[in-house]
Amino acid sequence: MRVPSLILHEQARRLGRAGLGAVLLSGLALVLGVASVLPQWQAVRELRAAEADASVQVQRVQRGELKIAVKPEQQALDTLRQQLPGQPEASELIERLYRLASAERISLARGEYALGVDPKTQLARYQIVLPLRGSYPQIRGFLQALLGQLPTLVLEDLELQRKRIGDSELNGRLRMTLYLSRSS
């Protein structure tokens, strides 16, 4: 069915310029509204489909039909946590450190201790700063014993100095971190 053009001209003349402008603006608003809503509507449909897929996957995991894949990095970190000594064992490990120092006849003055949590790994981190005094062979033997008997200990910094060139005794400062598991 075709609308005669004469009828359209007559209706347009009756509306006037203001009426035609309003009709055109209404049509333009309708086109813009559909153009802006249509992509959002499609995005909502895609999200609903993804939600349905995810809920099916969750149900399969709960029934035991599907296993969640563990990232190799996470698996390595979990293995490391299981091998580390627990946080309650920190005082025993510190006592072992002092026994190793006395075995090498090294004088350890009062140290600084700070317990924290590593933000990346969530491991307990016991930071220790100890002033020490002894000969170079004694200090070297002490450090070797530390690394051999406390594998979770990381030496971060060692400063050594002599008062005079001829002195055999060294004064120093040892900074280290003892990593512990928070779960034990």
DSSP tag of 88: G
**Within a 13 Å sphere around the CA of 109, how many CA atoms are in the beta-carbon half?**
9
What is the per-residue pLDDT across 97-112, written as a single tens digit (0 to 9) for each?
A: 888 888 888 888 788 8
- Express as a percent the part of the chain with pLDDT over 70: 89
DSSP, collapsed to helix, strand or coil, labels residue 176 as: strand
| CB 155, CB 179: distance < 8 Å | no
> Whole-prediction pTM value?
0.54
Residues 6+ apart with CB under 8 A from 130: 108, 109, 111, 112, 173, 174, 176
What is the per-residue pLDDT across 30-71, written as a single tens digit (0 to 9) for each?
A: 888 888 888 888 888 999 999 998 888 888 888 887 777 666
Q: 180 exposed, middle or buried (CB, 10 Å; 0-12, 13-18, 19+)? A: buried
| CB 96, CB 150: distance < 8 Å | yes
pLDDT score of 9 more than 90: no
**Rounded CA separation 121/118 (Å):** 6
Q: What are the extents of the domains in the chain?
A: 1-68, 74-181
**Rounded CA separation 48/90 (Å):** 51
**Rounded CA separation 123/117 (Å):** 6
| CB 93, CB 181: distance < 8 Å | no
Q: Give the model's pLDDT for residue 18.
A: 80
Residues 6+ apart with CB under 8 A from 103: 145
Nearest to 123 by CA among 71, 93, 81: 81
What is the per-residue pLDDT across 15-26, written as a single tens digit (0 to 9) for each?
A: 788 877 888 888
Cα dist. 136→18, 109, 153 in Å?
99, 17, 21
Percent of the chain that is helix, strand, coil (3-state, to 5): 55, 25, 20
> What residues does 157 pair with on adjacent strands?
175
Confidence at 123, pLDDT banded by 50, 70, 90? confident
Spelled out in words, what is the top-level CATH class assigned to the domain 74-181? Answer: alpha beta
